[in-house]
Amino acid sequence: MSESQGTWLDFERPLVELEQKISELREFAVDERLEFNDELRRLERKADRLRREIFTNLTRWQRVQLARHPKRPYTLDYIKVLLSDFLELHGDRGFGDDRAIVAGMGVFRDHKVMIVGHQKGRTIKEKLERNFGMPHPEGYRKALRLMELAARFHRPVITMIDTQGAYPGVGAEERGQSEAIARNLLVMSRLPVPTVGVVIGEGGSGGALALGVCDRIYMQENSIYSVISPEGCAAILWGDRSKAVVAADALRLTAADLFELGVVDGVIPEPAGGAHRDMDKAADELGRVLESSLQELSKIPAEELVQARLDKYSRMGRYLEAGTVRGLLNS
């Protein structure tokens, strides 16, 4: 395992180094025709214990780091494994094609679906082409156009959410970023076809929510979903981005937190150590949940589906009266 610097997170590095040692010992044993079975078993047991110690009780900030892991699977990675006959579609028919949003038709386990998702890049060139997974308004308008196309052809919609947020640049604002997001929220709430969304990495602010108004919304175990990034929250509240660790705890942005709060419908397990360690297994778990949801939702008439979706989001959230909030702040 010859990975470059920066590929692994600090807290998982001891495990990666041990796994590398096991791999090298196994290769040496094969090359030299030597027996190291006892030593290999001892090291593998040690690696199992270390893996459990590291990943059983992750902090919220460590979950944030895993959600951003440079080797974490992206939308196109899952599309390649889960869909057949995928045809990517482009453009918003108004301004251009935004490569931070990938979308198209395909077949998922006998379901003809439309899939829409954020797409980040791995190399510097890809990151620039995909704008680091931060869509412009034409990206959201492309997504909207294709979701409406899916409704016309009675195809369920699958969305994959993985963005730190919508792009906040001047050009994006001039072309109506907030209006594009708001229109997606409105139209998605009324789509007459089943919709299933999954947060597969970062779910940041309205840029994530613009693909998230679904009949069922799930989060992978090590993903995050929040109104703002921990760094942005820390900068606003304390004027210090280094307090992002504290902000992550305050935001309660992990899959377990959001499931407990009733914001998401379920948590999709990941392989030990995260989706980047066994992409095929992560895709199997994701596919299982998608299949179950589509089977369930496809039996519901369109009118009932839309009404249930509206009811779902109308019930969501808790609030305190202004006087109560002031009282809590002053106590």
For residue 167, which of 143, 138, 201, 198 has the smallest C-alpha distance?
138
Strand partners, 268: 220
Instruction: Give the mean pLDDT of 50-60.
Output: 79
Burial of 189 per CB tally in 10 Å (0-12, 13-18, 19+): middle
Strand partners, 161: 199
Spatial separation of the C-alpha atoms in residues 64 and 208, rounded to whole Å:
15
Q: Please tell me the predicted confidence (pLDDT) of residue 171.
A: 95
- Rounded to two decimals, the pTM is 0.86
Q: Which residue has the tokens 């301004």?
A: 95
For residues 23 and 259, the model is more confident at 259
Q: pLDDT above 90 covers what percent of the chain?
A: 72
Strand partners, 203: 163, 225
Q: Is the pLDDT of residue 38 over 50?
A: yes
Q: Please tell me the predicted confidence (pLDDT) of residue 2.
A: 38
Instruction: Give the mean pLDDT of 8-29.
Output: 73
* 67-99 burial code (b ≥16 CB/10 A, e <16): bbbeebbbbbbbbeebbeebeeeeebeebeebb
Q: Model confidence at 5, in pLDDT bands (50, 70, 90)? A: very low
Q: Model confidence at 328, in pLDDT bands (50, 70, 90)? A: low
Length of the chain: 331
* 238-263 burial code (b ≥16 CB/10 A, e <16): eeeeebbebbbeebebbbebbeeeeb
**Is the four-CA dihedral 318, 321, 327, 330 of positive or negative sign?**
positive
For residue 222, which of 158, 164, 160, 272 has the smallest C-alpha distance?
272
For residues 17 and 222, the model is more confident at 222
pLDDT digits (tens, 9 = 90+) for 254-296: 999 999 999 999 999 999 888 998 999 999 999 999 999 999 9
Q: Model confidence at 34, in pLDDT bands (50, 70, 90)? A: low
Q: Please tell me the predicted confidence (pLDDT) of residue 12.
A: 74
Spatial separation of the C-alpha atoms in residues 35 and 153, rounded to whole Å:
61
